[in-house]
Structure 1
Amino acid sequence: MTTSLDAPPIATEPDVDGAQPTPQFVLPPAKKKRLSGLAPVVASLRSGARAVGNGTARLARNGWSFVAPYLGVISGLGALVLISGIIAFVAGLLLGWPELTFIGIALLVAVLVALLFLIGRATYSIDIELNPRRVVVGDRAIGRVLVTNVGKRTSTATTLEVPVGEGLAEFAIGSLQPGADTEELFAVPTNRRAVILAGPAVSVRGDQLGLFRRAVKWTDQIELFVHPVTTRLHPTAAGLVRDLEGQITKKITNNDISFHALRAYVTGDDVRYVHWRTSARTGQLMVRQFEESRRSQLTIISSSDMKYFASDAEFELAVSVTASIASQVIRDGTQISVVTENRILKTHSVTSLLDDTCRIEPITGSTATARDFARESTKRLPPPSVVVIVAGSLMDASDYRAIQRLFGGETNVLALRIENGARARIQDVAGLSIVTIGGLSDLPRVMARAV
């Protein structure tokens, strides 16, 4: 048997079971060197392909960002008419159909005529005002749009669109002389508690067929706060712990305001608290002891979970009750925290509180139990001296009791059960007062009896 000189050497390895060895081919050193020399070329080709791909993608993005504003003025109907006109015109020429060619020309002419309506620049100054910016549910709110031509030429007619909440106000603005202005009024619906966004004001130019539409934004959004209906409470009823020194607790301390008892002097006691008259009578130094007093801190836990409410009206009544109590407490100067499942309300002023109540939205299934909700929402708040729980008619007495057990025995807990249309009453459940409120008018009378 002859062996070619160019053939690669063959290496054999014996199999484990003693079978015929399997031949293995090994590349000669010359071919290994040729393949290793091609590696830098392949790597450079790959890097070049990546660079070309990245450059192409960057060029496509820049090109689209340049073209997009111009293509954005074409409506869906305009794009359909333009494409149909081109197809009809080309097909008519290729197939020799004069009728199809005429249809294509008519469509393209319509597109060209519609495009002429976009020519020109708008030189407006537009202001949106809401008067007032804060209203109560059911009050009247009026918006005003002032359009001024600040250019040096007469402006062309345009359409002005102002989104108001979920609606849209449209105004036809005629041509204006330089420096001239026009005023448009619109009503804002205030039939429910909400934060209503008005704006931005957008001027729209286009043709009557709707083939092209160019919109220019002129203003930002402004907010209208529709506050919940509230009622005024008697200060002592709303504050619950309205005092000058704070709330007296059962904890005994060596220095405070509320006197508790006398005890024998111990080394280190402040001599300022020695009761000299009693010390002279007993022949032993006696010092005063005090009951610790703390600054009043009211916490309102108001649930927004719809599993505790029988209807939307009941939920809105609960928000009104919360806002009424918190507003009076803030006026009285008592420290207060108001929490719901998804927010801690601002309480540094009555206005900020009512603004935040406009943002309370009903939710579903935020926490497994009412106790979990109360624990999570109050764990970062200052220790309260009084807790008020506000929930709907579907919250059980056991849920109120579970929340009560979160706080120490020195904390007064009052539960407000909101049931729309129910008779106002107060129930005592294992030492917890549960107050049923059927209407906002019941609140002042019931709170005065509950505290």
Structure 2
Amino acid sequence: MSETLEQRAAPAPDGPEQVRAAPIGAPVEGSADEQLPTPTRRANPFRRALAGATEVLGPWARVVWAAAQPVVAVVSGLGWVVLGIGFLATLAGFILGWSELVFLGFVPLAAILVSIAFLFGRSTFRISIHLNPSRVTVGERAIGQVLITNPGSRATTPTRLEVPVGFGLAEFALPAIPKDGEHEELFAVPTNRRAVIPAGPAVSVRGDQLGLLRREVRWTEPVELFVHPETTRLHPTAAGLIRDLEGLVTKTITNNDISFHALRGYVAGDDRRYIHWKSSAKTGQLMVRQFEETRRSQLTMVMTSDSRYYGDADEFELAVSLTASIATQVIIDQVPISVVTDRLALRTHTVTSFLDDTCRLQLAEGTFDTPRTFARETTKRLPAPSVVIIVAGSQLEAQEYRGIQRLFGPDVNVFGIRVERGARASIKDVAGMNVMTVGALSDLSKVMSRAL
């Protein structure tokens, strides 16, 4: 019967935390509140020191290190400590003539020699890691499955399997698996924070029970779990902010469009299709229609991820949820949209790809000097917008919103969303620009409806 497991995923101060799995349903400690770009494993300071020494000693040392690395790699950190104690104790015993110290030095050296026997053997596993589902919303449960099969001609020996999950490490004790047999292990990933959590690679470990020597074999590639931010549905009135089937009328005059503006005298080269014949007959000269230029609705969302403009990490998470809620509604309505942050332009061709990208957003530190510089640099290559929404935290001053608004023309509607957890929902006029204060995700639809 397979064992059900729960994985901790909290980072440790000095590297990846060595955690053991607990039964599904047990309380979860830690959180996956950071973007996790790569799975992490146990660090071996002795191996790092040897590798660093080769860089100092020169090319010949690197050649020696390349030849010795397969052997050195099987010695764990504890193994190096035991080996060092045994060598020093034996050497000191011979120098000082203490037979007792020599004996004490032989004991750890003998333990290393005995441990070598546990490294021999070959496994014939076929291992796969599955996450069900592979995309969840914050707070939903995600279950991981490790399926191990034996395609060999005889039963496997019991071994240990390690699967990194985020910054944690799940360990499984695999029993002997008969020929063509299967074994399944389950683990639950905590999803209390937005993140991209890698699971894998699955690594089988051979070694002694003391952990002096260990030989690893990698069987799979990492798979990713996307923990999407919480979102809320917008009220139809609020969603109408960016809906416009015929486009938005501007003050620019053009000779060819939909919205009629006025008549003027005919000029050589004008399209005859736009001659107004009734007016021409009355005035005795050819009159041509003029139109107000209309633009197709194009929403641009500018969300700063600079930590200077947020009170804390939770305020930033709320900003991500607000941005995701608006953009998701816009994508569903099939209105063109661009979403940019300090370090990432999010994909907006589908809801899934957009939400996947929001999982990778993190607080940054001083990417741009000012919010105006940030908005100018991140939007200068985007299509001309008809509506701009600025999302920032409680530490961004009101005049900064106005500074960003000046980057866009007078025909562009610019709104600001100021995120402050626990604040009362309100709308403030900043030099003719509406800046909405949102303190909770549930307030978004209401405050946007009032702003229209």
AA of the residue aligned to 1:122: S
Cα deviation for residue 380 of structure 1 reads 1.6
In the alignment, is the contact (CA less than 8 A) between 1:236 and 1:242 conserved in 2? no
Cα deviation for residue 281 of structure 1 reads 2.7
Q: Note if 1:411 corresponds to 2:391.
A: no
Residues 69-124 of structure 1: CA deviation (Å, up to 9, x unaligned): 11211123323434544555566667765444443443333222211111101211
Residues 268-326 of structure 1: CA deviation (Å, up to 9, x unaligned): 11111111222223322111111111111111111111222222222111111111111
Q: Note if 1:297 corresponds to 2:288.
A: no
Sort the Cα spacing of 1:341 and 1:209 in 2 relative to 1 into closer, same or farther, 3 A: same
Q: Tell me the SS of whatever aligns to 1:333.
A: coil
Cα deviation for residue 366 of structure 1 reads 2.2
Q: Note if 1:323 corresponds to 2:342.
A: no
In the alignment, is the contact (CA less than 8 A) between 2:235 and 2:446 conserved in 1? no
Q: Tell me the SS of whatever aligns to 1:384.
A: coil
Cα deviation for residue 382 of structure 1 reads 1.6
Sort the Cα spacing of 1:414 and 1:90 in 2 relative to 1 into closer, same or farther, 3 A: closer
What corresponds to 1:402 in structure 2?
403
Sort the Cα spacing of 1:266 and 1:217 in 2 relative to 1 into closer, same or farther, 3 A: same
User: CA separation in 2, counterparts of 1:360 and 1:236?
Assistant: 29
Sort the Cα spacing of 1:301 and 1:95 in 2 relative to 1 into closer, same or farther, 3 A: closer
In the alignment, is the contact (CA less than 8 A) between 2:399 and 2:430 conserved in 1? no
Q: Counterparts of 1:424-435 in structure 2 under 5 Å?
A: 424-435=425-436
AA of the residue aligned to 1:75: S
Cα deviation for residue 195 of structure 1 reads 0.7
Sort the Cα spacing of 1:104 and 1:421 in 2 relative to 1 into closer, same or farther, 3 A: closer
What corresponds to 2:69 in structure 1?
68
What corresponds to 1:157 in structure 2?
158
Cα deviation for residue 58 of structure 1 reads 6.1
What corresponds to 2:278 in structure 1?
277
Q: Which moved more, 1:157-166 or 1:99-108?
A: 99-108
Sort the Cα spacing of 1:117 and 1:388 in 2 relative to 1 into closer, same or farther, 3 A: same
User: CA separation in 2, counterparts of 1:423 and 1:250?
Assistant: 37
What corresponds to 1:128 in structure 2?
129
Q: Tell me the SS of whatever aligns to 1:259.
A: strand
User: CA separation in 2, counterparts of 1:269 and 1:442?
Assistant: 52
Q: Note if 1:354 corresponds to 2:355.
A: yes
Sort the Cα spacing of 1:89 and 1:167 in 2 relative to 1 into closer, same or farther, 3 A: closer
What corresponds to 1:286 in structure 2?
287
User: CA separation in 2, counterparts of 1:367 and 1:207?
Assistant: 53
What corresponds to 1:201 in structure 2?
202
In the alignment, is the contact (CA less than 8 A) between 1:245 and 1:295 conserved in 2? yes
What corresponds to 1:48 in structure 2?
none
User: CA separation in 2, counterparts of 1:73 and 1:194?
Assistant: 33
AA of the residue aligned to 1:202: V
Residues 411-444 of structure 1: CA deviation (Å, up to 9, x unaligned): 1111111111111111222211111111111111
Q: Tell me the SS of whatever aligns to 2:346.
A: coil
AA of the residue aligned to 1:206: G
Cα deviation for residue 235 of structure 1 reads 4.7
AA of the residue aligned to 2:352: T
In the alignment, is the contact (CA less than 8 A) between 2:340 and 2:378 conserved in 1? yes
Sort the Cα spacing of 1:392 and 1:179 in 2 relative to 1 into closer, same or farther, 3 A: same
In the alignment, is the contact (CA less than 8 A) between 1:239 and 1:332 conserved in 2? no
Q: Note if 1:250 corresponds to 2:281.
A: no
What corresponds to 1:229 in structure 2?
230
In the alignment, is the contact (CA less than 8 A) between 1:228 and 1:323 conserved in 2? yes
The Cα RMSD (Å) is 2.0
What corresponds to 1:441 in structure 2?
442
Q: Tell me the SS of whatever aligns to 1:117.
A: helix
In the alignment, is the contact (CA less than 8 A) between 1:163 and 1:198 conserved in 2? yes
User: CA separation in 1, counterparts of 2:369 and 2:90?
Assistant: 66
Q: Tell me the SS of whatever aligns to 2:107.
A: helix
User: CA separation in 2, counterparts of 1:310 and 1:96?
Assistant: 67
What corresponds to 1:176 in structure 2?
177
Residues 185-241 of structure 1: CA deviation (Å, up to 9, x unaligned): 001010011111111111111111111111111111111111110011135523523
AA of the residue aligned to 1:175: A
User: CA separation in 2, counterparts of 1:325 and 1:385?
Assistant: 16
What corresponds to 2:25 in structure 1?
none
What corresponds to 2:345 in structure 1?
344
User: CA separation in 2, counterparts of 1:96 and 1:231?
Assistant: 78
Return 5+ residue gaps in structure 2 as ranges.
Answer: 1-56
User: CA separation in 2, counterparts of 1:166 and 1:84?
Assistant: 31
AA of the residue aligned to 2:279: T
TM-score (norm 1): 0.83
User: CA separation in 2, counterparts of 1:93 and 1:256?
Assistant: 99
Q: Tell me the SS of whatever aligns to 1:240.
A: helix
In the alignment, is the contact (CA less than 8 A) between 1:155 and 1:176 conserved in 2? yes
Sort the Cα spacing of 1:153 and 1:58 in 2 relative to 1 into closer, same or farther, 3 A: farther
Q: Tell me the SS of whatever aligns to 2:401.
A: helix
Sort the Cα spacing of 1:404 and 1:90 in 2 relative to 1 into closer, same or farther, 3 A: closer
Between the two structures, name the one with larger relative contact order (CA 8 Å, sep ≥ 6): 2
User: CA separation in 2, counterparts of 1:418 and 1:169?
Assistant: 37
Q: Which moved more, 1:320-329 or 1:243-252?
A: 243-252
Aligned residues: 396
Sort the Cα spacing of 1:71 and 1:347 in 2 relative to 1 into closer, same or farther, 3 A: same
User: CA separation in 1, counterparts of 2:176 and 2:382?
Assistant: 59
AA of the residue aligned to 1:226: V
In the alignment, is the contact (CA less than 8 A) between 1:317 and 1:439 conserved in 2? yes
In the alignment, is the contact (CA less than 8 A) between 2:277 and 2:286 conserved in 1? yes
Q: Counterparts of 1:73-112 in structure 2 under 5 Å?
A: 73-86=74-87, 98-112=99-113
What corresponds to 2:386 in structure 1?
385
Residues 378-398 of structure 1: CA deviation (Å, up to 9, x unaligned): 122122111101111221111
What corresponds to 1:335 in structure 2?
336
In the alignment, is the contact (CA less than 8 A) between 2:199 and 2:224 conserved in 1? yes
Residues 130-178 of structure 1: CA deviation (Å, up to 9, x unaligned): 1111110001100000111222222111111111112111111111112
What corresponds to 1:19 in structure 2?
none
In the alignment, is the contact (CA less than 8 A) between 1:241 and 1:247 conserved in 2? no
User: CA separation in 1, counterparts of 2:415 and 2:204?
Assistant: 54
User: CA separation in 2, counterparts of 1:409 and 1:383?
Assistant: 12
In the alignment, is the contact (CA less than 8 A) between 2:427 and 2:451 conserved in 1? yes
